[in-house]
Amino acid sequence: MCTWLSQQVEAQGAARGVSDWMKVTAINVMYDHPVSAPYDHALLLDFVDPAQGVGARVGIELSATSARELVRAIEAALASTEAVNDLEQQAHI
Amino acid sequence: MKDALLAEFVGFPGHNSDVIEGYLARPVTDAPVPGMVLLHHAPGLDPWCKEVVRRFATEGYACVAPHLYHRRGPGHWADVAAAGRAAGLAESMPNQQVMGDIAGAAAYLRAQPGSNGKVGVIGFCSGGRQAFLAACDVPELDAAVDCWGGSILPQPPVDGRPASNGVIGRAPDMAMPLLGLFGNDDSNPDVAQVDEIDRVLTELGKDHTFFRYDGAGHAFFVTDKPVYRLEQALEGWQRVFQFLDRTLKGAD
């Protein structure tokens, strides 16, 4: 299945990336003081692989509004007709 | 020359003799200078904290900020801090470990050739609470500054976070002058909590001075975040250096 359905949400925040693909084995989520995004508090998302050390991390800091928009877009992507059909066929995912 | 300083990363033995990293800035001068241990806030040893370390050097203090998340590394400070924050405060910065790191930083500063023998501590946010505790548990220090340290008093459980006993129970052993700066719009510590900390220290006869600022919340010194409050921060810094000049430099 190829949905070709992409949503772009406007966002305010900051990100810290890695140079190439990395395995992600956990996501740390917290609402707290950000390091780089210019807010007193932000939604902090760290996609990590702790077994590979602390540098195996994609860190995202989003304003609360951007984080809610992201949640909405994720939910919308998963609720698209093709996604729902696909998920029904792959109930194990 | 007031603004001449040297800044670098250094290593020194902390708790359990673990060698930990710190960011050091010291004034270029022949005169003996006091030392300051700076405790970073929860995001870690970030650019603002390093800027404050250099600020201390321009004011005539050799200042070192131990990287309190150091043991989660090696790695970029932001990744190391992120790993520490994900593990939670109790695991990444247990009180006993932090007190050992502070004692190590104080010994390091005192061992420098230009030291006048006096060392203080200042901490922000979680570091404020740690500075309060250091005033009780690290007698090698001569003065302590708590900037809006939260959770000094016992805290109830919230969501998934367990209850904490705070550190106020250690106050009977406070052995040095304490300066506290607080924003009246802060929620941890809020006005009633600062009142209570003040009451306990007063009852115990502890040398403490609190300055409390209207129109300011948590972290109002932090220049790269919206919470920065220019007027209150300028006045607060003046109070900090008046206090430290008196307690560590012997100024009137």
Contact B63, B120 (CB under 8 A): no
Average the pLDDT over B68-81 and give the result.
94
Contact A40 B227 (CB under 8 A): yes
Provide the pLDDT for residue A53: 94
Q: In which band, very low, low, confident or very high, does the pLDDT at B1 lie, cut at 50, 70 and 90?
A: low
Residue B41 with chain A: CB contacts under 8 Å: 33
**ipTM score assigned to the predicted complex:** 0.82
**CA B149 – CA B189 distance, rounded (Å):** 7
CA distance B248 to chain A (A): 32
Contact B82 A59 (CB under 8 A): yes
pLDDT tens across B119-145, in order? Answer: 999 999 999 999 999 999 999 999 999
- Among the ranges given (A37-41, A79-83, B168-172, B225-229), the one the predictor scored with the smallest mean pLDDT: A79-83
pLDDT tens across B40-61, in order? Answer: 999 999 999 999 999 999 999 9
Contact A9, A73 (CB under 8 A): yes
Q: In which band, very low, low, confident or very high, does the pLDDT at B159 lie, cut at 50, 70 and 90?
A: confident
Asked if B50 is an interface residue toward chain A (Cβ–Cβ < 8 A), one would say no
Task: Name A27's bridge partners.
Answer: A47
Mean pLDDT by 10 residues, chain A (93 residues): 84 92 96 94 96 95 97 94 88 62
**CA B82 – CA B128 distance, rounded (Å):** 20
Provide the pLDDT for residue B75: 93
CA angle, corner B178, sides to B192 and B201, nearest 5? 50
Distance, first Cα to last Cα, chain B? 22
Residue with tokens 């001569």: B142
pTM for the complete prediction?
0.92
pLDDT tens across B97-113, in order? Answer: 999 999 999 999 999 99
